[in-house]
Amino acid sequence: MRMNRPQKRYSFFVLFALTLFAAGVIFFCRAFSAAPLNAMEKKSYTKAEEEAKEKQEQKLPLSDSGLQKKCRKIYKKNKKLLVLVNRQKALSENYEPALQAISNGRLMASSLLYSDLREMLSGAAGFGYQYWLASAWRSRERQQKLVDEDIQMLINKGMSYAEAEKEVYKETQPAGHSEHETGLALDILCSHNPEMTLAQEQEPENQWLRENSWKYGFILRYPKDKEEITEISYEPWHFRYVGKEAAEFMYRHNLCLEEFYQIAVNRAIK
Ligand SMILES: [Zn+2]
């Protein structure tokens, strides 16, 4: 097809303009689309990171309804063993534990833990580990006496009453708030070093208990990484009987009793 001269020039300019436009479009797309894409990628990555961090901080996927259900089921079945006693929650004055003598009659503890305690101690004995049970059940009056004695000891060392009380309550619960009053708590020390100090942690006897007590229904009640939740300083010697099912659940999901209770009770009410 033949074209006359002005038509030819016109087509040339249109083609030139279109090429320029296309080049411009490609340039702008490459220059500016890369930035938002990267930003979007970065944003979703950060969100994933945040979620992972949150999950890690919770130490338990609380959103996992299966776990919550299991927790509530265990709680419902073992309410008596899972009674929560702490700084905020006093033991009911009507609570009367069925007690049984342990350690050749030297101490009393809840009859509910008796056979599992025996099994645990004989399990440890299989490794040559022997223990000294320093404390088990305490009456409310006895707890008050212990608190008063400790406070007095610190006052004698020069502290004011308020200072001494604050110091004592870091490790000891006020009367009515000690789970020793339930008969379900035991202070277990290694027999060749029966001192209630953090040095217990270094003893293989204590290490064995911290790793294996859950198999017999006991939990380390005041772990190092839960001090802010339990409001009690780390006590490697204080074990609490909660029954095998709950102990295994708490051990596997790294929950202290307060956390377990929160999932089992508070969340169940909703
Ligand atoms: Zn204790």
What separation in Å is there between the alpha carbon of 189 and the centre of ligand 1?
Answer: 11
| pLDDT for position 219 | 98
Say if residue 231 is in the same domain as residue 204.
yes
Say if residue 81 is in the same domain as residue 199.
yes
**Residue 250 contacts residue 260 (beta carbons within 8 Å):** yes
| pLDDT for position 67 | 86
Query: How would you class 92 by CB atoms within 10 Å of its CB: exposed for 0-12, middle for 13-18, buried for 19 or more?
Result: exposed
Say if residue 189 is in the same domain as residue 255.
yes
Say if residue 31 is in the same domain as residue 130.
no
- Count of structural domains within the chain: 3
Give per-10-residue mean pLDDT for the chain (270 aa).
56 61 53 40 48 50 76 95 95 94 97 98 97 97 95 97 93 92 98 95 97 98 95 95 97 95 70
Residues in CB range of 125: below 8 A, 6 or more apart = none
Say if residue 255 is in the same domain as residue 230.
yes
Q: Give catalytic status of residue 235 as yes or no.
A: yes
What separation in Å is there between the alpha carbon of 128 and the centre of ligand 1?
Answer: 24
Among 132, 137, 116, which Cα is nearest to 184's?
137
What separation in Å is there between the alpha carbon of 19 and the centre of ligand 1?
Answer: 84
Instruction: Estimate the crossing angle of helix 244-252 against helix 65-77, to 10 degrees.
Output: 150
Say if residue 202 is in the same domain as residue 230.
yes
| Domain coverage including residue 5 | 1-58
What separation in Å is there between the alpha carbon of 63 and the centre of ligand 1?
Answer: 33
| pLDDT for position 66 | 84
| pLDDT for position 113 | 98
d(CA 88, CA 69): 25
Say if residue 128 is in the same domain as residue 256.
yes
Annotated catalytic residue: which of 181, 203, 205, 235?
Answer: 235
DSSP tag of 225: G
Say if residue 118 is in the same domain as residue 208.
yes
Domain boundary among 177, 200, 231: 177
Both tokens of 210, joined, read: 């911290």
What separation in Å is there between the alpha carbon of 162 and the centre of ligand 1?
Answer: 23
Domain boundary among 23, 41, 58: 58
Q: Please indicate, yes or no, whether the overall pTM of this predicted structure exceeds 0.75.
A: no
What separation in Å is there between the alpha carbon of 179 and the centre of ligand 1?
Answer: 8
* All residues with CB under 5 Å from ion ligand 1: 187, 238
